[in-house]
Structure 1
């Protein structure tokens, strides 16, 4: 059995795919998966589902939801449900099951370690496999509470870091021309992330598009000044000056 939360929440068993249609049960399962193998207390479950205004019979409702989830997962997993009772609440024990978020973390760590060791091809491949696990917005349309929200923020930040690492490896490998299009899309989606602008500047410069590289820096400077009242970081200023002077020998292989 495999649980997938890097996109809409679903459970797979071979070619069979199972989803939870009831919103409150889906939120509860999402919280249990985010905290897989750890206990989620009854109070935390109430907050995830109802916020600060749980109904009078919230505890009874939670027991019903847990029972229904156990039945669903039991059907998928040959009669054995991974949800167990542990004071002061419940835990979802993965056992032999997989969670795509854990696989993503493992591959991202591999990519980071390979990049630091100078194994750029390995780093690019690991980060590529990690990013391929994403099917859309983390947990899709699940409306959870603090547990789900905190995980969604962490997951998106880690995904962007993984994208940056893969780009760095690809730039070092000399694949700057292939990166220009994807990097333009990234800076349009994330106009305040300076690392992506630096990588785009470098990819353009290495592709003999020096004027465009300088224009990217100017646009970033205007955006940061307008939105935050700050200027680009020192590293980007230095890259800008090196490109402006056309000092190819001093322009780094990766931003």
Structure 2
């Protein structure tokens, strides 16, 4: 008997495959922040601040209690065979707040972090096949931007940014693992799209340059560098980093190290994409 809550995309909440997520904005926001804190007490003050901000109405605490009660009722009525699950068992009242039982709630964020951590550990140990497999499985859990249909207050905004940055970092690590496995040609389309999406990302551009070079398209690798440099100068008034310039020079001279099936030094400097 578990409550499944998915936050990596539009909010989904099901009990025994029966949807239980509220439709109204504030109750959905409440469920999301309780889910992020599953297994821990989320103070009433935090919930009120998340939903109503720094100037909540006088009725905010009473309204919060009403939302909690309705969430429990949705759980109680979720079983289609007429039996009732105990909503208070899933969502407990504590001294200063509320807590979703971490043992009874299954969260896609936790599964994602578990798979991604395994992938990163494998990459650190040089097991790129396992790294690619685990990171691909982790990234497949995303159905869209995190919390994309939730009104976010201060806490959920921080969590949304954290998850988005983590996803970019893990995508970067998965691409690097695939390059180390020699999957250069198969990555060209994906990397071209990512460079268009993140035109100022040195990390994505560096990987695209490597994939192009290793696929025998040296001139296109040089073109990718010049597009990056033009964008950085125009948008930020800066030149590419030293590591990217070294990669460019290595492509120009046909450095044999570029053909190695290991992370190229110039490709590892910037882990997070810089959105343009």
- Within the candidate set 86, 94, 113, 1:80 is matched to 86
Superposition deviation, residue 76 in structure 1: 3.6
SS at match of 1:199: helix
Superposition deviation, residue 15 in structure 1: 4.1
SS at match of 2:122: helix
Report if aligned partners of 1:110, 1:126 keep a CA contact under 8 Å in 2.
yes
Runs of at least 5 residues in structure 2 that lack an aligned partner in the other structure = 268-276
Farther off after superposition, 160-169 or 221-230: 221-230
Report if aligned partners of 2:38, 2:105 keep a CA contact under 8 Å in 1.
no
* TM-score relative to the length of structure 2: 0.88
- Within the candidate set 163, 187, 193, 1:185 is matched to 193
Does 1:200 find its partner at 2:202?
no
Aligned-partner Cα distance in 1 for 2:62–2:17: 35
Aligned-partner Cα distance in 2 for 1:161–1:245: 30
Q: RMSD between aligned alpha carbons?
A: 1.6
Q: How many residues are aligned here?
A: 255
Aligned-partner Cα distance in 2 for 1:26–1:15: 18
- Within the candidate set 27, 30, 40, 1:28 is matched to 30
* TM-score relative to the length of structure 1: 0.95
Runs of at least 5 residues in structure 1 that lack an aligned partner in the other structure = none
The equivalences for 1:150-161 within 5 A come to 150-161=158-169
SS at match of 1:3: strand
Change (3 A) 1:169 1:215: same
Superposition deviation, residue 252 in structure 1: 4.9
Match of 2:272 in 1: none
Does 1:141 find its partner at 2:141?
no
- Within the candidate set 53, 56, 70, 1:54 is matched to 56
Match of 1:98 in 2: 106
Match of 1:120 in 2: 128
Aligned-partner Cα distance in 1 for 2:171–2:16: 29
Does 1:226 find its partner at 2:234?
yes
Change (3 A) 1:169 1:250: closer
TM superposition outliers: structure 1 runs of 4+ over 2 Å: 12-19, 73-78, 248-255
Aligned-partner Cα distance in 2 for 1:165–1:73: 39
Change (3 A) 1:5 1:60: same
Farther off after superposition, 7-16 or 215-224: 7-16
Aligned-partner Cα distance in 1 for 2:124–2:51: 42
Superposition deviation, residue 193 in structure 1: 2.1
Aligned-partner Cα distance in 2 for 1:129–1:93: 26
